[in-house]
Amino acid sequence: MSNVIVIGGGAAGMMAAYAAALCGHQVKLMEQNEKLGKKIFITGKGRCNITNASDMDNLFANVMSNPKFLYSAFYTFNNEQMVGFLEEYGLKMKVERGNRVFPVSDHSSDVIATLRKALEDKNVEVFLHTKVDHLLVTEKQIKGVGLSDGREVPADAVIVATGGFSYQTTGATGDGYRFAEKTGHKLVQRTPSLVPFEIKEDWAKELQGLSLRNVSVSIYNGKKKLYEDFGEMLFTHFGVSGPLILSASGMIKAKQFENELELYIDLKPALTVEQLDKRILRDFDEAMNKQFKNAIGHLLPAKMIPVLIDLSGIDPEKKVNEISREERTGLVALMKKLPLTVTGLRGWNEAIITKGGVYVKDINPSTMESKHVQNLFFCGEVLDLDALTGGYNLQIAWSTGYLAGISVQ
């Protein structure tokens, strides 16, 4: 039996503490906040997208950084085991669109309460308002932790589960990166990910609150296509957000955002240019004597009509039967390829996760143990691992946390 300290009471930390205690170790879980699971509380818009119920191939396909590193972690503790674990402690779950798993109650607080119950069941000691300042290491062997109040707490093993920089209101300080660097681990540049885009065009801000469904978005750097997908997006007071945009931020390499990028929205992806032209012609035929501004209501959300009219350059008062073929062709082109300019990403406070972190080649993927310091483990978002939205990032936390916990000797 070992004395184990887990630093960080988030998803990975709670799971690591549970798994270590499950193996018979004495576990202390140290959290700087006033409660456990602050970030879990706000995930999935407060509902907590616990994991994704798809098969293993799909889990790996949705991991953007270092999926091969997760082989042992995912196969040791997979999505089905996570669901089974929570059910065992009384949490009922449901599967929604895209195989996203949520608690039936739709309250993330129920997920946190279930995890706390599991920790209590395994006699994990939880220390809140407890900030670890540094690791105690002697001759490449972990000896414990030094707290910010000056106390030193000895341990046979330490698991770092401090998370990333994202959602800093939850207390994300990046301490784990400092611990890693001071103990000889390389760091991969950290950038916000699964984060909205800032847009140059003022008209985008006029559409604040408008959600577009069943649209296609493509993003280019010059002639190079960086991303294309179909789904849902949202206009905001600073630019664009929503599932399509967040996924794009996860898939496009951070350095690409050093330049302005072109983003195009296909408002009618189910129709070819020719089909859309015929559809508009039909609408125009039915509204021959109407003004242009009153003739395109069937095609677009009401909020978007003034913006598109303005961008089309067609006089809104013009009678439909006076609109030229060139003007109609321009309107079709605009609806198939509505252009926006991405000027950058929103900051850490709006990022769901951190891209980058502790270099995974410094960590043993079979145990999550450091290759530089014996009995020091890392798990969760502090590592250079990130995935798309849909429950995949939390599954990384559960799997790596569990593997770190059971690997303590």
Query: Across all residues in the chain, what is the average pLDDT?
Result: 96
Q: Does the structure show a pLDDT above 90 at 172?
A: no
Q: How confident is the model at residue 334 (pLDDT cuts 50, 70, 90)?
A: very high
Q: What percent of the chain has pLDDT over 70?
A: 100
- Sheet containing strand 125-127, strands side by side: 125-127, 26-30, 3-7, 157-160, 376-378
The tokens for 94 are 């449901």
Q: How confident is the model at residue 297 (pLDDT cuts 50, 70, 90)?
A: confident
Q: Which tens digit of pLDDT belongs to each residue from 187-225?
A: 999 999 999 999 999 999 999 999 999 999 999 999 999
Name every residue whose Cβ is closer than 8 Å to that of residue 322 and which is 6 or more positions away in sequence: none
**204: Cα separation from own chain's centroid:** 23
Closest by Cα among 202, 223, 214, 191 to 341: 202
Closest by Cα among 329, 226, 316 to 273: 329
d(C-alpha 344, C-alpha 351), whole Å: 13
Residue 118 is predicted with a pLDDT of: 98
Residue 272 is predicted with a pLDDT of: 97
- State residue 262 phi and psi, 5-degree precision: -95, 130
Q: Which tens digit of pLDDT belongs to each residue from 340-350?
A: 999 999 999 89
First to last CA, the chain: 8
d(C-alpha 178, C-alpha 120), whole Å: 30
d(C-alpha 212, C-alpha 203), whole Å: 15
The average pLDDT across 101-106 equals 98
Domains of the chain in start order, with CATH, are: 3-191+354-407 (3.50.50.60), 196-346 (1.10.8.50)
Burial of 344 (0-12, 13-18, 19+ CB in 10 A): middle
Residue 296 is predicted with a pLDDT of: 87
Burial of 250 (0-12, 13-18, 19+ CB in 10 A): buried
Q: Which secondary-structure segment (H or E) carries 13?
A: helix 11-22
Residue 178 is predicted with a pLDDT of: 98
Q: How confident is the model at residue 287 (pLDDT cuts 50, 70, 90)?
A: confident
Q: Which secondary-structure segment (H or E) carries 125?
A: strand 125-127
Residue bearing tokens 């309250």: 107
Q: Does the structure show a pLDDT above 90 at 299?
A: no
Q: Does the structure show a pLDDT above 90 at 254?
A: no
Residue 110 is predicted with a pLDDT of: 98
Residue 63 is predicted with a pLDDT of: 97
| DSSP assigned state of 174 | -
Name every residue whose Cβ is closer than 8 Å to that of residue 390 and which is 6 or more positions away in sequence: 49, 52, 62, 98, 99, 100
CA angle 388, 257, 233 (to 5 degrees): 50
Residue 214 is predicted with a pLDDT of: 96
d(C-alpha 389, C-alpha 387), whole Å: 7
Q: Does the structure show a pLDDT above 90 at 130?
A: yes
Query: Which stretches within 227-376 are classed as H helix?
Result: 243-251, 273-286, 305-312, 325-336
Q: How confident is the model at residue 171 (pLDDT cuts 50, 70, 90)?
A: confident
Q: How confident is the model at residue 298 (pLDDT cuts 50, 70, 90)?
A: confident
Strand partners, 144: 136, 154
Residue 170 is predicted with a pLDDT of: 84
Reduced to 3 states (helix: H, G, I; strand: E, B; else coil), residue 241 is: strand
Q: Which tens digit of pLDDT belongs to each residue from 359-392?
A: 999 999 999 999 999 999 999 999 999 999 999 9
Name every residue whose Cβ is closer than 8 Å to that of residue 24 and which is 6 or more positions away in sequence: 1
